[in-house]
Amino acid sequence: MARVCGGEFTDAIGPTAKLTKTLLANREVARHFNQLWARSQHNSELLLVQTSDENGISNLRENTPEEDIFAEDDYEAINSAYFDDIFKARSWAALPAGWHNPYCEAASLFEPVTPDEYSLQHYTLDEGYALEEPKRAILEFLGAWEGRGVDYDELTLCPSVSTANLSVLSALKIEGIESIIFETPMYFGTRQQAELLGLKIIRIPCFRDNRFDNSVATFHRAILEQHRCALWLTQPRFGIGTNQSIDFVCELARLLGPQNVLVIDEAAEQKFPSTLSGLGPVECTVIRTRGLLKGIGLNGLRTAFVLHPRTWRAKITEVLEAVGASLDRYSLINAAGLAKRHRLFHSMLTHANAQVQRERKNLEVMSLGSWMEPTALENSYIGSLLLDLTVLPGEYAEKRKALLSYCCVRRMPVILSASIGFAFDERLEAVRVNYFTSSENLRSAARILLDAEQALRQDLLGR
């Protein structure tokens, strides 16, 4: 077993810790990584590719023609080394990621309906016209959410956004598209799905220096290097919470052209009408995925959808049939019932976003004058707390290791930059925060991170 608070990874952790040994234990390789990162800021042609030898030790090599610097997602290795015992005992003092302790005020406005026994006998898959009545109710609501009519064959219902994304990635491969350009940060599951399907992955990094924005030219260069591709965006930006502008999306669509595809993952959209509801016809195929109920905190009701051109429905439903992505009947009936109550749904979205904005403002006030800053959050409920590592002495690897050890001692499991999908930046560490949790939990998490600044400085100076 890996030691929990000692901060050292053992060989028992396995291949998921490939880069961890580099960044958390090997100073020389970490220093080399930092030097290559610094050079990349002045050389747009630098690409870092991570490979592993037979012992699972990561190597860093230079390649061209595109900047792409990412540390490996070591989420499992970190949990194994630092936080497993805390999760097993459910003894956390705070849990900023909020997976095990969700709380959304808007959910209290919802009154669930129990399906009758006849309804529960149905195997429910959105294939053909099998979902006639409940799907029509959702279509009508979606028309209000999007500000336009949505045709029956432009919408396919799925049990989750992850299932929706898997069906889209699979349909892209069926269509002959083998390269996916991902804007980052990005949801880890989508990247893993693309890897499992054998798709070529190109990740576009963004940095705090540019407010995590990228120019159209950056995407254009990546698009030109592919024969055919899909460009994958998140709306709102995953881990950041800012909205994509329609002008920016339209320009990207123009650059993609009719042979390529634009996919927009809108998993936790909270605006009504939706932020991209004004997106009219563009010069490429556009596919959008969204959680019907995630934005109002009802994650237990498993209903999501894909918005797509009519010609893509057969490909997407073919994938859903193959993986057995049936809809939960309880979730579908309750989602359709809520969809019929447009005003209530709209009120719940507004109330949920107000909770997020209030809690984010509280953390912003707590952070004033410290090393911590919450990301701007216009939309969604997933953001990050950015920690300025330049206030601490030592190398990046030492600082990251000290932060994890401190969070372990304070009984606060955390999800860090690499697992959120941020590009590597030795000056910065991000901690994922879910604002659909209690005020007390968020304040406790913030206090622990604020205390960490002084504690880590003293610890690192004393070494």
Task: Please give the pLDDT value at position 99.
Answer: 82
String of b and e for 78-115 (b: at least 16 CB within 10 Å)? bbbbbbbebeeeeebebbbbbeebbbbebbeebeeeee
Residues whose CB falls within 8 Å of the CB of residue 41, separated by 6 or more in sequence, listed in order = none
Task: Please give the pLDDT value at position 354.
Answer: 97
Per-residue pLDDT of the chain in tens (463 residues, 90 and over written 9): 333 343 333 333 333 333 333 333 333 333 433 443 333 333 333 333 333 333 332 333 333 333 448 999 999 999 999 999 999 999 999 999 988 989 999 999 999 999 888 888 888 999 999 998 999 999 999 999 999 999 999 999 999 999 999 999 999 999 999 999 999 999 999 999 999 999 999 999 999 999 999 999 999 999 999 999 999 999 999 999 999 999 999 999 999 999 999 999 999 899 999 999 999 999 999 999 999 999 999 999 999 999 999 999 999 999 999 999 999 999 999 999 999 999 999 999 999 999 999 999 999 999 999 999 999 999 999 999 999 999 999 999 999 999 999 999 999 999 999 999 999 999 999 999 999 999 999 999 999 999 999 999 999 998 7
What's 97's DSSP letter? T
pTM of full prediction above 0.75: yes
Task: Please give the pLDDT value at position 44.
Answer: 33
Domains of the chain and CATH, by start: 1-68 (no CATH), 111-342 (3.40.640.10)
Task: Please give the pLDDT value at position 26.
Answer: 37
For the sheet with 428-434, list strands across it.
372-374, 382-388, 428-434
- Do the strands 372-374 and 428-434 form a parallel or antiparallel pair, or are they unpaired? unpaired
Q: Which residue do the tokens 């809690």 mark? A: 359
Distance CA 107, CA 103 (A): 8
Task: Please give the pLDDT value at position 119.
Answer: 81
Distance CA 414, CA 404 (A): 8
Task: Please give the pLDDT value at position 35.
Answer: 42
Task: Please give the pLDDT value at position 122.
Answer: 81
What's 463's DSSP letter? -
Q: Find the radius of gyration of the CA atoms of the chain.
A: 22
